[in-house]
């Protein structure tokens, strides 16, 4: 392949416009927020850049750390559930007939074609007090009572089913937030897993089964190690946006289910404390960079081990 400097004019004409766009609309605003994180709030909307670290020190307030820890926990649980659900789904797509693979992948990517706000409100319609879940459970409870009373077993119905069905509180708690995070981020897990599993040499699986290993043992001892790069990529790609999620916990969670992105939004809008909100934003970004650095380090060590072998 010819070096790029032989075609400088073409290289610059293609590379300069996106570079300018990246600098103007990504790096410059990001740098501005980083500078704000070293400032102080003045008046209602004023910011005085004093290069102080007080905003970062405030971020280690026990209440803020508690919210950070809760955000990490909710994002980690949602990511784990996405892995448990996404791995069988990805395997199913890999081993599906070729004529169905395209449709199955389309079904995984289809949620991206719908606005997140609309999908979240649809989930609210399912989980609310008079939503589809409670309506279905109430209908099943009524149908069971009617069936038992029809055969003169009303007493048994009361003994088995107890009092009349009471609507479940499925919204505005941590469980609703986790469900929402899984609902939104599951495609981010399935697609990397599918890409990794699609490249697997199926002869390894056949050899494992021929040697007497069961399906679960083959999955754990053969598929998981070979697909580990895709699993790690899926974990990171799912965990990072889940950690910074704002809309899902804001609409599905209650006052005790706020995540760190909710606190950041309140600093920029309600409190008008842009310096503190900027510091919290960059702490979240530092966590993201740390996760990516760990991923790169693990990939380098795995590559070094492979070269050494």
| CA gap 238, 187 in Å, rounded | 9
A 10 A CB-CB count for 266 gives: 15
pLDDT number for residue 152: 61
Chain segment 98-122, per-residue pLDDT in tens: 888 889 999 888 888 888 899 999 9
> 75 and 239 in contact (C-beta within 8 Å)?
yes
What pTM did the predictor assign? 0.84
Model pLDDT, residue 224 = 85
**At 47, is the secondary structure helix, strand, or coil?**
strand
The 10 Å Cβ neighbour count of residue 141 is: 17
Residue range 26-41: mean pLDDT, rounded: 92
Percent of the chain with pLDDT over 90: 34
297 or 225, which is more confident: 225
Is the pLDDT score of 3 beyond 70? no
Q: Which CATH number fits domain 55-128+170-308: 1.10.10.10, 3.30.70.20, 1.10.3720.10, 1.10.150.120?
A: 1.10.3720.10
Percent of the chain with pLDDT over 70: 89
Coil, helix or strand at residue 117? helix
- The pLDDT mean for the chain works out to 85
pLDDT interval class at 302 (50, 70, 90): low
pLDDT score at 28: 94
In the predicted model, what is the mean pLDDT of residues 215-243?
87
- What residue ranges do the domains of the chain occupy? 55-128+170-308, 134-168
Task: Encode pLDDT of 49-69 as tens digits.
Answer: 899 999 999 988 999 999 999
* d(C-alpha 234, C-alpha 251), whole Å: 25
- Residue 46's DSSP bridge partners are 42
Query: In this predicted structure, what is the pLDDT of residue 77?
Result: 96
pLDDT score recorded for residue 82:
95
- Residue 299 pLDDT > 50: yes
Q: Tens digit of pLDDT for each residue in 181-228? A: 999 999 999 999 999 888 887 788 778 887 888 778 888 888 888 888
């Amino acid at each position: 392949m010819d070096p790029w400097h032989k075609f400088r004019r073409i290289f610059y004409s293609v590379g300069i416009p996106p570079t300018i766009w990246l600098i103007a609309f990504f790096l410059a605003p990001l740098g501005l927020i980083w500078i704000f994180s070293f400032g102080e709030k003045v008046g209602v909307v004023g910011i005085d850049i004093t290069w102080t670290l007080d905003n970062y020190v405030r971020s280690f307030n026990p209440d803020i750390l508690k919210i950070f820890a809760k955000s990490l926990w909710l994002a980690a649980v949602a990511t784990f559930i996405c892995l448990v659900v996404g791995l069988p789904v990805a395997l199913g797509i890999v081993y599906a007939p070729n004529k169905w693979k395209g449709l199955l992948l389309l079904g995984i990517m289809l949620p991206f074609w719908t606005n997140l706000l609309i999908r979240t409100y649809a989930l609210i319609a399912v989980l609310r007090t008079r939503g589809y879940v409670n309506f279905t459970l109430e209908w099943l409870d009524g149908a069971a009572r009617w069936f038992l009373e029809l055969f003169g077993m009303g007493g048994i119905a009361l003994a088995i089913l107890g009092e009349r069905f009471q609507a479940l509180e499925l919204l505005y708690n941590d469980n609703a937030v986790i469900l929402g995070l899984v609902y939104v981020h599951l495609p981010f897990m399935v697609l990397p897993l599918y890409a990794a599993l699609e490249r697997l040499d199926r002869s390894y699986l056949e050899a494992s089964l021929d040697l007497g290993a069961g399906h679960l043992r083959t999955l754990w001892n053969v598929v998981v190690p070979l697909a580990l790069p895709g699993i790690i990529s899926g974990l990171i790609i799912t965990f990072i946006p889940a950690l910074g999620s704002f809309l899902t916990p804001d609409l599905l969670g209650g006052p005790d289910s706020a995540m760190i992105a909710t606190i950041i939004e309140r600093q920029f809008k309600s409190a008008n404390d842009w310096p503190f909100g900027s510091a919290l934003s960059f702490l979240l970004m530092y966590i993201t960079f740390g996760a990516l650095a760990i991923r790169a380090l693990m990939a380098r060590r795995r590559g070094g081990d492979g070269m050494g072998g």
